[in-house]
Chain A
Amino acid sequence: MTTYEATQAVQPTTFTGRLVRFIGRVPVHLTLIIVTLIWLIPTLGLAVASFRPRSEIGSVGWWHAFFHPNWTLHNYGSVLHSAGMGHAFLNSLYITLPATILPLTLGALAAFAFAWIPFPFRDTIFLFVVALMVVPIQTSFIPLVKLFRDFGHLNNQFYGIWLAHTAFGLPLAIFLLRNFFIALPKDLIEAARMDGASNLAIFRRVVVPLSVPALAAYAIFQFLWVWNDLLMALVFLSDPAKRPMTVQIVTLLSTYGQEYNLLSASAFLLMIVPLIVFFSLQRYFVQGLLAGSVKS
């Protein structure tokens, strides 16, 4: 009898039962729908504005555009060429790719040693790296800018910002990857050692192939972090020709403050790569994000 009642409470079988259940849950549905709208509408507004002609944006609200459609791709053409967003897009790529691969590689090498090669003060040094994870980037701004200025004008080239992003990405990379590596089966590593494999061979042939999910999660996290960054690009890149999209958009905002058609198209160009990464690699992305904060 008890089992029967419990089942009924979860899944009512009569029409009245279903109706009661439905009415009881209307507040839940309503809340969720309102919340979803709050999260959708702002982005939707930007998307719609980016496809509307300039003359209409200030005169009729974007929400009317669905009833009187008058779409155009003109805004995208303008920002890509005359507003310099096409060039900035390439700069963003050129900044982001090395700034992802470098910390991934250096971090994986160090993480492997922290997990599987015994050496003096290993755990103390690792704890020190863990402590570095939350050092604010502001602490490094002044000395690094000075260093880049004094040595070969690195602030006018990409090397400086690559180095800075590598340094700030490393503690998390080492921390995440070391925790993943150390959970790999010990027998496997020991067997490879018995066969006479060197540490580097074990790293390349055993550890890396088994750790693709962790490596991918970190790579995506770091890629998006660098791609989306504004502050470090402002501080470490002084050559206007090397501006990434984030900085270019801020520049556009100060020159074309009211040209919402151009600004919205620029913002969408900035968002498109992260959105593609997000929707195609969602699983890794969420894992990386969770790992960065939760897994320890």
Chain B
Amino acid sequence: MRVSDRIQGMLFIAPALIVLGICLIYPAYYTIRLSLYDGNFFFDFFHYIGIGNFKELLTQDPDFLDRSSFPWSGALVNNFRWVVVYISLSLGFGLGLAVLAVKVRYERAVKTIVFVPMAISATAVGLIWLFVYSPDPNIGVLNAIIHGVDPGYNPIAWVGRPSTVNYALIFAYVWASTGFAMVVLSAAIKGIPEEILEAARVDGAGEWTLFWRVMVPMLSLPIAVVTVWLFINVIKVFDIIYVMTGGGPGTASRVIAYSMYYETFQNGRPGYGAAIAVLMLALMVPVMLLNVRRFRSERITG
């Protein structure tokens, strides 16, 4: 290790580290500290209250977590619903499409069409689906289709009712993310050696058995990777909700990131917002450890 290399190495990474220090590392410290305070308009450490914010968040704030009636509700529960429904649907559609598309000649066309929404802003996706869900059957294609099948049907305001709003939002986002799962899994499927599939077929395995007993186990790593990516995406989901419902009707479609934005910038409670940000950071820690561990093990093997 030459002396000039030591210095030059540090000089090369210095600009990046300075930016990271100012915009990520110092802020993380500040936010964690602020979460123990009642903040004020100037985002100062105004009044120390210990874990008061977290206590309120988890026990006294029905907009965030309401355990008074079953099923529970609130932003945290909504976000949990997102985690389960969004991840399983995106993964399921992506895997199904990847498996089916390789069987046909127009594979490329199908994959391109499903993938395009990945390039589009969540803001545009939100507008696209506001049209689809519109209660006016001359605008909303979903209501128009149901009306066409059943003329006695009364159009539903899909994003205007607490009972349907979350699933309507989730489906719109699944629509935007399925392409990602499909492309990753499709690449992985093509990496499975043809001899293995052929051997299973010769042994009399049907397509269904082949899928569940051979392909899915062989795809466990890419499936895990896609799941982690979808998880990261779903914990930070915000834009599409802000555009389509603004967290409403009422507070019915709020999620963690929405509550963080609302409490900090609209409700004037930065300390409380900081506590929500800390909660988000805590949810990310397992992913962080997973990334670091994966990188370490690869350095040893590779």
Residues of A within 8 A of B (CB): 6, 25, 28-29, 31-32, 35-36, 38-43, 45-46, 49, 57-63, 106-107, 109-110, 112-114, 117-120, 122-123, 125, 127, 129-147, 163-164, 166-168, 170-171, 174, 199, 203, 224, 227-231, 234-235, 246, 249-250, 253, 260, 263-264, 266-267, 270-271, 274-275, 277-278, 282, 285-286, 289-290, 293-294, 296
Contact = CB atoms under 8 A, between A and B. Distances in A.
Interface string B40-70: 0011000000000000000000000000000
B146 interface: no
A106 B12 CA distance: 8
Given A42-B131, A163-B19, A109 B13 contact: yes
A170 B295 CA distance: 18
Contacts of B39: 142
B20 to A, nearest CB: 6
Given A145-B43, A170-B16, A117 B127 contact: no
A112 B9 CA distance: 9
B287 to A, nearest CB: 5
Contacts of A29: 104
Interface string B90-121: 00010011001101101001101111111111
A170 to B, nearest CB: 5
Contacts of B238: 230-231
B141 A63 contact: yes
A117 B175 contact: no
Contacts of A46: 127-128, 131
B277 A139 contact: yes
B12 A112 contact: yes
A25 B273 CA distance: 54
DSSP class of B's interface residues: helix, strand, loop or mixed?
Answer: helix
Contacts of A110: 12-13, 15-17
A282 B179 CA distance: 13
Nearest to B15: A106
B236 interface: yes
Contacts, number: 298
A49 B296 CA distance: 52
A285 to B, nearest CB: 7
Contact of B225 (A57, A144, A170, A294): A294
B103 A62 contact: no
12 contacts: A36-B109, A36-B110, A42-B141, A46-B127, A106-B15, A109-B15, A118-B9, A174-B16, A228-B121, A231-B238, A270-B121, A277-B119
B100 A32 contact: yes
A59 B138 CA distance: 6
B195 interface: no
B107 to A, nearest CB: 9
Nearest to A46: B128
B100 A136 contact: no
A135 B284 contact: yes
B19 A106 contact: yes
Given A136-B280, A143-B43, A296-B298, A114 B13 contact: yes
A263 B126 CA distance: 11
B113 A39 contact: yes
B278 interface: yes
Nearest to A105: B15
Contacts of A35: 93, 97, 110, 114
Contact of B121 (A119, A133, A145, A230): A230
Contact of A230 (B120, B239, B281): B239
Nearest to B112: A282
B144 A270 contact: no
Nearest to A257: B130
B196 interface: no
Contact of B116 (A146, A230, A275): A275
